[in-house]
Amino acid sequence: MTRRAVVTGASSGIGEATVRALRATGWDVVAVARRAGKLAEVEAATGATAFAADLTRQEDVDALAGWLGETGPVNAVVQVAGGARGTDRVEDGRPEDWQWMFDANVLGTQRLIAAVLPLLRRAAASAGHADTLFVTSTAALDAYPGGAGYNAAKAGEAMLAHALRLELNGEPIRVIEIAPGLVHTEEFSLNRLRGDQSAADRVYADVPAPLTADDVADVIAYALNAPGHVNLDLVTMRPVAQSAAHLLARGPLEVRE
């Protein structure tokens, strides 16, 4: 039986890479994001089915859930959508940025899960299990200067996943969290730094082999393709050059003598 996954944030970065990784391992995929034009490109390149929706809008989430219920099973939901805005200190933080991060990372996630959980239960009843997978961040685990808004939002999303796992105890629905560290994608830092390409480039400058979107997508595909009784509660991923959120090696990695 072919399983179907819903992947959010699918128009770029980790979401797009996840669509490709799951399609390569035999999944049907519904690719969800706000940007219909970018989604159309993903659809054409991968054979996924595109559905444009903004998870911060309840009407969009309701439309997505209704369409999913009419078109087939939902065996897995991969929640990638979210993001960061700004690197301000707490005292300088812009409330509108913090509000957007909470809406995008926490409330959007709650809306999605609440809407599709009945569909996941239906799939689990017929297929033996179903999956929820949340891409959070090491920012949910460790605070760093200038990161408080994103730290708070991603910690909130992580706590949602942790509580959901407890609430679903006894049901055959896995709750998986993947928390990446530094991932070099085209848009994350650029969006966070308000379109300043030079500043975004400096985030990754001289860091040997930061994670890629494909690296994260490979772990996501592994987690979803693992036997149904195996739950990867939390996978923390960092490049070898990153020992903590604030501690990056720049320049070649060399053995000390």
With b for 16 or more beta-carbon neighbours within 10 A and e for fewer, the 168-201 pattern comes to beeebbbbbbbbbbbbbbeebbbbbbeeeeeebe
The whole-angstrom separation of Cα 193 and Cα 212 is: 19
Q: 150 catalytic, yes or no?
A: yes
Distance CA(60)–CA(42), nearest Å, equals: 20
User: Coil, helix or strand for 57?
Assistant: coil
Exactly one of 144, 150, 204, 222 is catalytic; which is it?
150
What does the alpha-carbon distance between residue 83 and residue 186 come to, in Å, rounded to a whole number? 13
Residue type, 60: D
Question: 29 by DSSP, 3-state: which?
Answer: strand
Q: Sign of the C-alpha dihedral, residues 56, 62, 63, 65?
A: positive
- Structure tokens given for 172: 């055959």
Six token digits for residue 64: 């997505």
| Positions marked active-site | 150
